[in-house]
């Protein structure tokens, strides 16, 4: 175990691994392509607008990434409501906006940490309703200036994952 690392194991309240300068996050699950999904953010009283229709980008048990037509303030307390009209699957969670970044066009990418984790049963229902995709997320493209000659995984299209080790017969 590295210096400054907090051991996390079975029975811990969190499976996240934390070091002094890094917090590993739970797996994020990409949003499925469901036209009947309605997602809205309810903001604190007095906020304008008070309720915002948003797009689900991805979700983990502890948070969500949304695409919004308006920016939300870091630290703002919100309630996220997902409702699929067709399957009737739904999720409502309060949370805190952790970051806001300009996104494509006139939209904002919003990261929200839930106050209460999503239970496994609800997460399964979101997968069964195709609200969450079972496809792994696409790899993030690397910047060209980060490539190092001979670096496996430098992000060029010709890069391939290393081959798994081959099994050799045991010698008698």
Task: Tell me, yes or no, whether 52 lies in a domain.
Answer: yes
62-120 pLDDT per residue, tens: 999 999 999 999 999 999 999 999 999 999 999 999 999 999 889 999 999 999 999 99
Task: Tell me, yes or no, whether 147 lies in a domain.
Answer: no
Between 17 and 117, the higher pLDDT residue: 117
Confidence of residue 134 (pLDDT cuts 50, 70, 90): confident
**CATH number for the domain including 52?**
2.40.10.220
**CA dihedral of 13, 14, 19, 23, whole degrees rounded to 10:** -150
Contacts of 99 (CB under 8 A, 6+ apart): 74, 110, 111
**What total number of domains does the chain contain?**
1
User: What is the mean predicted confidence (pLDDT) over 46-55?
Assistant: 92
Task: Tell me, yes or no, whether 133 lies in a domain.
Answer: no
Q: For residue 124, is the peptide bond before it cis, meaning its omega torsion is within 30 degrees of 0?
A: no
Task: Tell me, yes or no, whether 100 lies in a domain.
Answer: yes
Task: Tell me, yes or no, whether 89 lies in a domain.
Answer: yes
Task: Tell me, yes or no, whether 163 lies in a domain.
Answer: no
Sheet with strand 37-42: strands edge to edge: 29-30, 55-59, 63-68, 108-114, 90-102, 77-84, 37-42, 51-53
Most confident of 81-90, 132-141, 156-165: 81-90
Task: Tell me, yes or no, whether 58 lies in a domain.
Answer: yes
pLDDT at 143 over 80: no
Least confident of 11-15, 26-30, 32-36, 124-128: 11-15
Q: Which domain holds residue 102?
A: 32-123
30-47 pLDDT per residue, tens: 888 888 899 999 998 888
Task: Tell me, yes or no, whether 170 lies in a domain.
Answer: no
């Amino acid at each position: 175990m590295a210096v400054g690392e907090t051991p996390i194991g079975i029975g811990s309240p969190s499976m996240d691994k934390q070091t002094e300068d890094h917090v590993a996050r739970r797996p994020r699950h990409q949003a499925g392509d469901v036209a009947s999904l309605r997602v809205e953010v309810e903001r604190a009283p007095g906020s304008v607008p008070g309720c915002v229709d948003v797009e689900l980008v991805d979700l983990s048990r502890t948070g969500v990434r949304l695409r919004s037509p308006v920016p939300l303030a870091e630290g703002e307390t919100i309630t996220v409501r997902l409702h699929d009209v067709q399957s009737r699957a739904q999720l409502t969670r309060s949370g805190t906006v952790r970051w806001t970044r300009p996104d494509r066009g006139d939209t904002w990418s919003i990261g929200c940490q839930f106050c209460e984790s999503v239970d496994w049963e609800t997460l399964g229902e979101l997968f069964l309703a195709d609200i969450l995709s079972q496809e792994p997320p696409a790899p993030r493209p690397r910047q060209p200036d980060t490539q190092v000659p001979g670096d496996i995984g430098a992000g060029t299209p010709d890069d391939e994952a290393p081959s798994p080790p081959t099994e050799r017969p045991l010698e008698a």
